[in-house]
């Protein structure tokens, strides 16, 4: 979970005002006092947090999804992911999003870690889960989502990251967490075994 311990170099906040409150995101402007008596302005996007899921099917393929991302104006290939609803905990969100986006429910769900997605301007914290022992169980996707399921071998997924064909930051970071988890386990087949 994210730490909220301030560092010794944290500037003093003198004011904060919301300029937009949305369904999921809020935008606020903070005024900060920094060294030398200067005042600076920071725009901050408040985000409730999210999950990213690495799910392996019974053929040892990693389940990715292709979907249109309006801010970048094109389809991206990504790991299944989603935003926490009010009152949601990350594990419940991961279970729901996996079923909505892939049509599978895991026999086992393990948290691998997490990270801030873009801490320079956003509070979004991504929780990363590994899902194994999948069985078919579909929930309807959100009404605005058009998602194509793309199962790929892990090595092909990593090749696509290296070639710049997968450009989604949460997918790249989650893959790194998974590779380190697998290395620490001492067994490349740990995900396959559901251990």
Q: What is the Cα 77 distance to its own chain's centre?
A: 13
The one catalytic residue in 35, 136, 143, 162 is 143
Q: What are phi and psi of 66, to 5 degrees?
A: -110, 125
25 three-class SS: coil
Which has the closest alpha carbon to 133: 157, 112, 104?
A: 104
Distance CA 60, CA 56 (A): 5
Residue 110 catalytic?
no
Beta bridge partners of 109: 131
Count of alpha carbons within 13 angstroms of residue 113, beta-carbon side: 14
Count of alpha carbons within 13 angstroms of residue 76, beta-carbon side: 18
Distance CA 106, CA 100 (A): 13
Q: What angle do CA 16, 20, 25 make, to 5 degrees?
A: 100
Which has the closest alpha carbon to 135: 99, 87, 82?
A: 99
Active site residues: 143
């Amino acid at each position: 979970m994210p730490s909220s311990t301030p560092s010794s170099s944290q500037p003093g906040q003198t004011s904060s005002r919301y300029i937009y409150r949305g369904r999921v995101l809020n935008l606020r402007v903070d005024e900060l006092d920094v060294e030398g008596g200067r005042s600076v302005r920071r725009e901050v996007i408040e985000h409730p947090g999210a999950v990213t899921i690495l799910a392996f099917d019974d053929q040892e393929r990693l389940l990715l999804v292709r979907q249109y991302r309006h801010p970048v104006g094109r389809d991206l290939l990504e790991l299944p992911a989603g935003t926490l609803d009010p009152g949601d905990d990350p594990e419940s969100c991961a279970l729901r999003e996996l079923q909505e986006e892939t049509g599978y429910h895991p026999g086992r769900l393990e948290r691998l870690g997490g990270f801030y997605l873009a801490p320079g301007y956003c509070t979004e914290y991504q929780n990363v889960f590994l899902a194994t022992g999948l069985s078919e169980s579909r929930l309807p996707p959100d009404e605005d989502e058009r998602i194509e399921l793309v199962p790929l071998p892990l090595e092909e997924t990593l090749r696509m990251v290296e070639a710049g064909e997968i450009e989604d930051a949460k997918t790249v970071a989650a893959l790194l967490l998974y590779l380190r988890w697998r290395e620490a386990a001492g067994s490349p087949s740990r995900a396959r075994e559901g251990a």
